[in-house]
Amino acid sequence: MSAQTPVCQLLARQDADYRGWLWVAPPRDAWLEGREGSLLSADHGLLQAWRERGSHALSPFDAGSVGEPAGAVLFWPKSHALGEWWLLWLCANLPAGTRLQLVGENQGGIKRVLKVLAALGLGCRKLDSARRCILFETRLGDVGLDPDAAWTTFEAEGLTLVSHPGVFGHGKLDAGTRLLLEWLERDLPEPGQSREVLDIGCGDGIIAAWLARRGHTVTAIDVNGFAVEATRRTLAANGLEGQVQAGDVYSTLKARRFAAIVSNPPFHQERNIDYGPAGRLIREAPAHLLPAGELWLVANAFLPYPDLLESIFGGFQVVADDRRFRVYRARVAGSR
């Protein structure tokens, strides 16, 4: 199987024996998934794919140990702060002296790795470059820095929000989410008995916490393990309750139904536009809504969701449009 992504194409031409290595935060690539070794990732979808093939895969939030791999490859993310967190986590959890290769695209900031490693007192050498990517190598050591220091808090909508690099809206309230909450305040019915609301793509937990504070029974889902952990911490920081779980849209919900689904769905995968998750959110929503249930969605105004909403729900409302963002509301067909 040939490598598909530029970073994996660069790795595929190396002489290194990667058997027994740890692959850290990699992209989806069939070449990589056919290699020997273990996966360390916060991406629920990637973790599930590896586990279904019987490969060893774990999240940084799992209780299990990563052991003592022969080496590790860190795929440098577009979020520089998140890349630094992964590096500190590896230094804190793998034996000193473990070989570490760092690979990434030039556009993703891989060249900045040199300064990061120098600041930590870790040596570095360039192994290769191709496909507009660079591969560096170093050895891990005790840098005396706690990766948990990356968790931060900020205040918004009267709530304390806990955030982490790589989580949507890190450190601030997204303008689209603010518009969504403004209209939910006006139009979302007050919670009745056993009223359950689903927040998909929960991020730092602002929507889940906002709903829980108003008495709704909240389930929050995100494919990103950092977002799942952030939402759990946000709910705890505000003394609120809610069920938070990792999942790819509705994949872990089975036949559960809700009075409302609320979301500010992502449309990027790294630097590429990806409508897949939002499309699934809309298409599969009726199967997870109770009679008269509603889907509330905020999105950038240019995104092509109206036709899909019309085809799935038979109609919808644009309840707010500030030219940058639109808030859509759609009810299950036959419940208007």
Is 336 within the bounds of a domain? no
Q: What digits encode the pLDDT tens for the residues 1-17? A: 789 999 999 999 998 88
Same domain assignment for residues 124 and 166: no
Q: How many residues does the chain have?
A: 336
CB atoms within 10 A of CB 25: 20
Residue 315 belongs to a domain with what CATH number?
A: 3.40.50.150
Question: What domain range includes position 83?
Answer: 6-148
Torsional class of 182: left (φ above 0), alpha (ψ -120 to 50), beta (otherwise): alpha
Same domain assignment for residues 187 and 320: yes
Same domain assignment for residues 35 and 98: yes
Q: What digits encode the pLDDT tens for the residues 240-272? A: 999 999 999 999 998 889 999 999 997 644 444
Residue with token string 């360390």:
40
Is 188 within the bounds of a domain? yes
pLDDT at 212: 95
pLDDT at 274: 45
Tell me which amino acid residue 258 is: F
Please answer whether residues 330 and 313 qualify as being in contact, where contact means their C-beta atoms are separated by less than 8 angstroms.
yes
Same domain assignment for residues 161 and 90: no
Domain termination residue (choose one: 148, 175, 200):
148
Is 268 within the bounds of a domain? yes
pLDDT at 304: 84
pLDDT at 273: 44
Same domain assignment for residues 207 and 113: no
Same domain assignment for residues 297 and 159: yes
Is 316 within the bounds of a domain? yes
Is 1 within the bounds of a domain? no
Same domain assignment for residues 128 and 168: no
Is 82 within the bounds of a domain? yes
- Give the residues of the chain that fall short of pLDDT 50: 268-274, 336
What is d(CA 52, CA 153) in angstroms, rounded to the nearest whole number?
36
φ, ψ at 63 (rounded to 5°): -75, -20
pLDDT at 272: 45
Residues 6+ apart with CB under 8 A from 107: 132, 271
- Verdict on whether the full-model pTM lies above 0.85: yes
Q: What CA–CA distances, in Å, run from 190 to 96, 139, 193?
A: 55, 56, 10
Tally of domains within the chain: 2
What is d(CA 329, CA 282) in angstroms, rounded to the nearest whole number?
11
Domain termination residue (choose one: 148, 182, 207):
148
Domain termination residue (choose one: 113, 129, 148):
148
Same domain assignment for residues 259 and 274: yes
Written as six digits, the tokens of 85 are 């967190």
